Amino acid sequence: LCSFIRSPKDFPKLKNDTFLRAARGEETEHTPVWCMRQAGRYLPEFRETRAAQDFFATCRSPKLCCELTLQPLRRFPLDAAIIFSDILVVPQALGMEVVMVPGKGPTFTEPLKEVEDLLKLRQKVDVTAELGYVFQAITLTRHSLEGRVPLIGFSGAPWTLMSYMIEGGGSTTMSKAKSWLYRHPEASHRLLRLLTDVVTDYLVGQVAAGAQALQLFESHAGHLGPEQFQDFALPYIRDIARAVKSKLKEEALPLVPMIIFAKDAHYALRDLAHAGYEVVGLDWTIRPQEARAQTGKDVTLQGNLDPCALYAPKEKIGELVKKMLEGFGTQRYIANLGHGLYPDMNPEHVGAFVEAVHAHSRHINKH
């Protein structure tokens, strides 16, 4: 399937557009469902495909990204595919070296320590030259999907990328990155602006390559309080939505729905609902009714089952899904987990989750 690159023209006709209709706020027969990290280590076939390769080498192989993206769709009747890639390809495009260290995760060989280090970053990034492999993976996957479901492209949001670039990897406190916001606010804004420009071009390039929706991951929103989020995250989240849409129009590209997922930022849900995105993704720490009340009627919500619920017996997963659907309602809603799947999860339980969403939402819609 994933053997050759074709042009981003003549894509196969889409057969299941439930996810796109829900994202745009149109009526759907069932609630669409997909999972963050659905292409992941919980699948034995994923581990097998990945075994021989370095992680970022895999990200740079359009053929492997295509194969990994399609794997979960061979098992489960998901309503969307999300391209296999990583948010840290953006810092790589800026000239930083990131390696995947077994047991530790992504690690920057030389994180940003001083303001002067910003000068080492590429100030103008040609996304096609630096990230063309992602665009090729998207085009190839879109053809290989044969119109089965829409393909989602994504990027990390500026604050989340900045935090990795300064911390040099994961962190429980983000104290190094946050110290920049207090000590070097101007330099922080300079970096966030640079990241915003690159992310904008990157997302537009993904649509040109064939992505039918886009998700922006502000995974480290929870490390900021409301004020810092207001200063250092929200303005750039807004700018990206605005700039992407205006560039898509300029380049006569499809205006695809955009999703903002700011983990643990329930203090900002009202603002996020008005940030220019069609869909607001939610983690598991907020009640559906509360999220609806805060975001209003004009955005679609996505989420928010606790990923650990998939460790429960299958019947229990069904009950939790039913309760979640009753809380959100079946319309203007995309079912998902409140974060990504974990590597030790049972694929059968993922299947039970997907099937429960379809079955319960159809039943609620009928009655």
Q: Which residues are catalytic, by number?
A: 37, 41, 50, 86, 164
Full DSSP string of 170-194? --SS-HHHHHHHHH-HHHHHHHHHH
Say if residues 82 and 69 touch (Cβ distance below 8 Å): yes
Task: State both tokens at 351.
Answer: 């299947």
Phi and psi angles of residue 260, each rounded to the nearest 5 degrees, phi first: -110, 125
> What does the angle CA 365 – CA 304 – CA 209 come to, to the nearest 5 degrees?
90
3-state helix, strand, coil in the chain (%, to 5): 50, 10, 35
Q: What is the CA radius of gyration of the chain?
A: 19
Tell me which residue of 29, 110, 2, 102 sits closest to 330, measured CA to CA: 29
Report the distance separating Cα 101 and Cα 201, nearest Å: 29
Tokens 């894509």 correspond to what residue?
Answer: 11
Say if residues 235 and 276 touch (Cβ distance below 8 Å): no
- Burial grade of 293 (CB within 10 A; 0-12, 13-18, 19 or more): exposed
For CA atoms 293, 294, 300, 303, give the dihedral sign: negative
Helix (H, G, I), strand (E, B) or coil at 107: strand
Report the distance separating Cα 73 and Cα 144, nearest Å: 12
Report the distance separating Cα 351 and Cα 341, nearest Å: 12
